[in-house]
Amino acid sequence: MNRLAIFDCDGTLVDSQHNICAAMAECFSAAGLEVPLPERTRQVVGLSLTEAMQVMLPDAEPDFHVAMAEDYKRAFQAMRARGLEEEPLYEGIAELVEALEAAGWLLAVATGKSDRGLKLCLDHHGLADRFVSLQTADRHPSKPHPSMIAQAMTDAGAAPELTVMIGDTSYDMAMARAAGVGAIGVAWGYHPPDELVRAGAHHVADHPRDILDLTKAWA
């Protein structure tokens, strides 16, 4: 069986918090709602959009959650059309991808992004051909449901005992545990390390260079 390292995208591969917080602020303002603080928005990064709106607006009706999710998409796409989006790779990620491949790992992505958003992001950074499986919110239940990991393992011909999920949120760690795979949290993302540990992280990496050594437990 193959070894598989699955990455989250936002907060793990790229720092997209400026985009996410700006789009959330725009859609809340357009709806006449109080704009959420950035730290509040960062807490729902990783969830699918409708589920994120359910967390942000727990007293609203389901139809309103769906409508807000669509408004968020439009706000994000408008920023992209204006050339305002900022999704830089975190320092050390490109080197980590190369190191994992050299060590014999297949790579995948499991993200709350859409298919279109993920493709644009990976194409921009020249990473699209590095991943054997790309799983998004367009085709799966929201994290922490393990569906994305299950499909990535099928695509890669990998077993749970040889698979790790690398992510920055508690949803990533809970998803990994639900799928029975390794859970490696990253300290440079949007949820604090103690929250990752409570959600089930086996390890938390302080820097991308630490991950290659941490994955040896599943080699």
* Residues 79-130: tens digit of each pLDDT: 877 765 678 999 999 999 999 999 999 999 999 999 998 998 999 899 999 9
Q: Could you state, in order of their start, the residue ranges of all structural domains in the chain? A: 2-15+87-218, 17-81
Helix, strand, coil percentages (3-state) for the chain, rounded to 5, are 50, 15, 35
**43-54 confidence digits (pLDDT tens):** 999 888 999 999
Closest CA to 27 of 62, 82, 64, 81: 64
pLDDT given at position 31: 95
Closest CA to 169 of 134, 142, 130: 142
Domains 2-15+87-218 and 17-81 share a fold: no
Q: How far is CA 107 from the centre of its chain?
A: 14
**182-213 confidence digits (pLDDT tens):** 999 999 999 999 999 999 999 999 999 999 99
| 3-state secondary structure at position 90 | coil
Give the global pTM.
0.89
Residue 57: CB atoms within 10 A of its CB come to 16
Q: Which CATH fold topology does 2-15+87-218 show?
A: Rossmann fold (3.40.50)
pLDDT given at position 19: 87
Just list the catalytic residues: 8, 10
pLDDT given at position 84: 55
pLDDT given at position 85: 63
Sign of the four-CA dihedral 3, 180, 194, 52: positive
Radius of gyration of the chain from its Cα atoms, rounded to whole angstroms = 17
Percent of the chain with pLDDT over 70: 99
Distance CA 10, CA 79 (A): 17
**147-186 confidence digits (pLDDT tens):** 999 999 999 999 999 999 999 999 999 999 999 999 999 9
Q: Which two tokens stand for residue 38?
A: 């950035």
DSSP 46: T
Q: What is the CATH number of domain 17-81?
A: 1.10.150
Cβ–Cβ under 8 Å, residues 53 and 121: no
pLDDT-derived band at 137, boundaries 50, 70, 90: very high
